[in-house]
Chains A and B, each alone.
Chain A
Amino acid sequence: MFCGVLFGIGFGKYPLTLKINDKLLNIAIYILLLLLGIAVGSNEKIIKNIYTIGFQALVITVGAIFGSVAVCWVIYKVYFKIK
């Protein structure tokens, strides 16, 4: 990560760097997701528990969104509304 940041600061003046990097980043993400999919598909324990996993994901999402919105509502009322 650190090497990457240094590299980016050094070569960031060329707009092409960011463009190529975005492309490569997307490709890397797709490859990794494909690999994660393969690992999941060949893992019986995960396939058997897929409904539990979905339910856990849903509950965490609702909780996290609710919490973020609540805290930012307070921040909004205290710091942003009075102008």
Chain B
Amino acid sequence: MRGTVLVIAFFAAGVIVGFSGRLPENLISPQWSNYALYFLIFLAGIGIGADRKSWHMIRTINFRIFLVPLGIILGSFAGATLSSLLLPALHLREILAVSAGLGYYSLSSIFISELHSEALGVVALVSNILREIFTLLFVPLLVKYFGNLAGIASGGATSMDTTLPIISKYSPKEYGLISLFSGIVLTILVPFLVTFILSVGK
């Protein structure tokens, strides 16, 4: 939760500074965030490569567990496609890109604002923060009515860290491991999914 508050605080501080219009032109130029993004992607890569535990876990685990992140991705896309009926102003590709954030709001909003537009980046930021908040609020209900995988499904990429405690509290013990696994796989896939969707059918 502390992370989420910090994220919103940094974003809000940026909005206020930008809105005040007191910044020198050259600081707003997109090249700064471009360099920062490359740096971020590099760091995300190091994190994946260095994470021995996750690599080991992926190799030793039953095939069924792969169905969980796969189902979450397909379900998110299907649900987002449905919601596009309510959002005629947005292209289906844009809606799918936002839903491909899977709750990983920091990375997905930055990718989308760089690759597409800042407006859609904000949609992604808000949408994926909401995904985390809804998950924190509704895991008990979801698990009760839709089975033990429901909390993991709702959490998406967040099921490995921020929503893991609440998911493992309300599901049987072994689902904590599934939650961790699914969250790790989805977190790794988010940047690829977002980039892929935005580059297809341009």
Contacts and interface: CB of A to CB of B under 8 A. Distances in A.
Contacts of A73: 146-147, 149-150, 153
Interface of B: prevailing SS: helix
A62 B79 CA distance: 8
A72 B110 CA distance: 28
Nearest to A30: B10
A38 to B, nearest CB: 4
A68 B153 contact: yes
B113 A36 contact: yes
Contacts of B15: 37-38, 40-41
B25 to A, nearest CB: 10
B185 interface: no
B11 interface: yes
Nearest to B32: A35
B194 interface: no
Interface in B74-114: 74-83, 86-87, 89-90, 95, 98-99, 102, 106-107, 109-110, 113
A33 B11 contact: yes
Nearest to A22: B47
B41 A67 contact: no
B67 interface: yes
B7 interface: yes
Interface string B27-55: 11010110011011111111111111000
The 4 A-B residue pairs with the shortest CB-CB distance in the complex, in nearest-first order: A37-B14, A4-B45, A67-B79, A8-B49
26 contacts: A3-B45, A4-B43, A5-B48, A7-B46, A18-B51, A21-B47, A24-B43, A25-B44, A30-B7, A33-B110, A37-B13, A40-B18, A42-B23, A56-B87, A57-B130, A59-B83, A62-B83, A69-B150, A69-B154, A70-B75, A71-B71, A72-B146, A72-B147, A73-B147, A75-B67, A76-B147
